[in-house]
């Protein structure tokens, strides 16, 4: 006998109400989280996080997830997604190992304050199709580590791979006797209405993806951590190791077919080394194209980014743009001059295409980078290839940015690397410049709150002279 479709309360044979279905998911999540918190311990939170991490990191499952992600989204490539899934998760596990997220996390006799870790509750995580495995896994691990439950809202293209990720996590949970309702997802098919409902019903929103999703997250009425647009600009100055810079830019620009918000979109080269850098770039697989208008017209044929080049392999990009380039070309560098709305190459391209600008000197390079960031990508990050360390400070004070990445492959460094101190993450806060509440990489601390016990201590009230004495001596009362 065939299975009948679910009934509505009126007995009709229609499909279930999608909002009611979402509300039921939230109710399950809330019940699971309440028990997880009530019966929680540091050991339990750590084991749940490890179970979720191993679900994606086990090599056979990692490959399966990477293949599924590429097959269903059509974005990126399998080998790089395997690397991303592994390294991002391993780095996150390194970052949270030994971190206390349960019970007393600070007891300060001097201030009289004892701080107790408390979960946020139900996390609603909106994740993009560009990273349909690594980003939800990162959010899930952080949520579990801090005593929360989580409901993931994947993009429509990413729903299939997200569902498989959750199946694998639930299988790991079964090994340790953990509640699978701690990790759920918005039922397919996804929709803006369901995602909006989740944003209003959860206790904390973590949103990575389109700026439309970010705006809706920040206006949903629920506390939200949302991140800004990436449009990375990198400066190569006259002191740089050009061979190393060219290779790092190639590695970063081509990784996972430029799906990362931290992939270079523009490179600004000081005139004195421009020709030498272009030669090194060619040796590293970058083909220089001088037809700025022609490439722009083919990249945005109808005013929208050409989907046949977004996050695609080099051969598909080259064919779609109708280019004749040397064999072995891995990415395209378009000689550019204009910046702003009328010059789309100065914006984010989500492809193996970058804009190459020529600057008179370092000061001019800083101004070009600043104009690009003010056009798009303010707050996210900029890069510098230089042996003059003082120039990083110049960038850090001249450009509206939260990160200056020095002499590194940008997309690897920005989201955390084993060779720098940035937290491993796939979501970069962009501060007020990018319309965000945070200027840090999204990490475990954004999934945790605390209660403070405040005890009376000996009074530390200063005298007026303690505060104003020096001022009075300088200017009088």
At residue 210, the pLDDT reads 81
d(CA 410, CA 2): 55
At residue 6, the pLDDT reads 38
Query: What value does the mean pLDDT take over residues 74-82?
Result: 97
Nearest to 25 by CA among 195, 143, 174: 195
Query: What value does the mean pLDDT take over residues 202-221?
Result: 91
What is the DSSP-derived secondary structure letter of residue 311? T
Query: What value does the mean pLDDT take over residues 346-353?
Result: 96
10 pLDDT more than 60: no
Q: Which one has a higher pLDDT value, 37 or 10?
A: 37
At residue 213, the pLDDT reads 87
At residue 14, the pLDDT reads 57
7 pLDDT more than 70: no
The per-residue pLDDT for range 419-460, each reduced to its tens digit, is 999 999 999 999 999 999 999 999 999 999 999 999 999 999
Residue 353: which pLDDT band, with cuts at 50, 70 and 90?
Answer: very high
pTM: 0.93
Nearest to 334 by CA among 297, 296, 374, 284: 296
The per-residue pLDDT for range 241-275, each reduced to its tens digit, is 999 999 999 999 999 999 999 999 999 999 999 99
The per-residue pLDDT for range 295-336, each reduced to its tens digit, is 999 999 988 999 999 999 999 999 999 999 999 999 999 999
d(CA 127, CA 112): 41
Strand residue runs (E) in 297-352: 331-335
Nearest to 411 by CA among 448, 439, 383: 383
Q: Where are the alpha helices (DSSP H) in 309-445?
A: 314-320, 362-375, 390-398, 410-414
Which residues are tagged catalytic? 261
251 burial type by CB count under 10 A (0-12 exposed, 13-18 middle, 19+ buried) = middle
Torsion angles phi and psi, residue 397, rounded to 5: -110, -10
* Tokens (6 digits) for 243: 């061979």
Three-state DSSP at 351 gives: coil
371 pLDDT more than 50: yes
At residue 212, the pLDDT reads 85
At residue 15, the pLDDT reads 59
| Count of other CB atoms within 10 angstroms of residue 94 | 12
Cis peptide before 197 (omega within 30 of 0): no
The per-residue pLDDT for range 397-414, each reduced to its tens digit, is 999 999 999 999 999 999
198 pLDDT more than 70: yes
User: How high does pLDDT run on average in the chain?
Assistant: 94
């Amino acid at each position: 006998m065939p299975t009948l479709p679910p009934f509505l309360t009126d007995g009709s044979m229609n499909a279930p109400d999608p909002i009611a279905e979402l509300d039921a998911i939230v109710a399950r999540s809330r019940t699971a989280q309440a028990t997880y918190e009530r019966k929680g311990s540091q050991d339990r939170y750590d084991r749940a996080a490890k179970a979720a991490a191993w679900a994606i990191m086990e090599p056979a499952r990692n490959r399966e997830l990477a293949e599924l992600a590429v097959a269903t989204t059509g974005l990126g490539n399998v080998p790089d997604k395997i690397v991303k899934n592994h390294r991002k998760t391993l780095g996150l596990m390194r970052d949270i190992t030994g971190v206390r997220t349960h019970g007393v996390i600070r007891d300060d006799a001097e201030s009289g304050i004892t701080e107790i870790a408390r979960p946020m509750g139900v996390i609603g995580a909106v994740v993009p199709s560009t990273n349909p495995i690594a980003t939800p896994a990162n959010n899930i691990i952080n949520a579990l580590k801090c005593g929360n439950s989580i409901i993931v809202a994947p993009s429509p293209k990413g729903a299939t791979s997200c569902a498989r990720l959750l199946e694998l996590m639930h299988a790991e949970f079964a090994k340790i006797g953990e509640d699978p309702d701690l990790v759920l997802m918005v039922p397919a098919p996804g929709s803006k209405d369901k995602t909006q409902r989740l944003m209003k019903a959860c206790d904390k929103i973590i949103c990575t993806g389109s700026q439309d999703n970010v705006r809706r997250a920040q206006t949903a009425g629920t506390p939200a951590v949302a991140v800004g647009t990436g449009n990375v600009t990198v400066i190569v100055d006259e002191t740089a190791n050009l061979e190393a810079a060219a290779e790092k830019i190639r590695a970063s620009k081509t990784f996972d077919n430029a799906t990362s918000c931290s992939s270079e979109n523009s490179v600004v080269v000081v005139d004195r080394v421009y020709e030498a850098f272009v030669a090194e770039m060619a040796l590293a697989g970058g083909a220089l194209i001088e037809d700025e208008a022609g490439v722009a017209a083919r990249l945005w044929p109808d005013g929208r980014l050409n989907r046949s080049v977004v996050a695609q392999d080099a051969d598909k990009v080259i064919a779609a743009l109708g280019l004749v380039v040397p064999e072995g070309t891995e990415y395209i560098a378009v000689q550019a001059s204009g910046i702003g709305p009328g010059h789309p190459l100065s914006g984010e391209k989500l492809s193996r295409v970058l804009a190459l600008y020529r600057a008179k000197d370092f000061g001019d390079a800083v101004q070009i980078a600043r104009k690009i960031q003010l056009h798009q990508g303010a707050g996210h990050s900029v890069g510098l290839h230089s042996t003059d360390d003082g120039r990083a400070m110049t960038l850090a004070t001249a450009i509206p940015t939260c990160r200056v990445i020095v002499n590194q492959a940008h997309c690897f460094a920005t989201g955390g690397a084993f060779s720098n101190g940035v937290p491993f993450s796939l979501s970069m806060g962009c501060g007020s410049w990018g319309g965000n509440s945070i200027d840090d990489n999204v990490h475990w601390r954004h999934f945790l709150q605390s209660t403070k016990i405040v005890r009376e201590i000996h009074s530390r009230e200063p005298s007026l002279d303690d505060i104003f004495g020096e001022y009075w001596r300088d200017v009088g009362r």
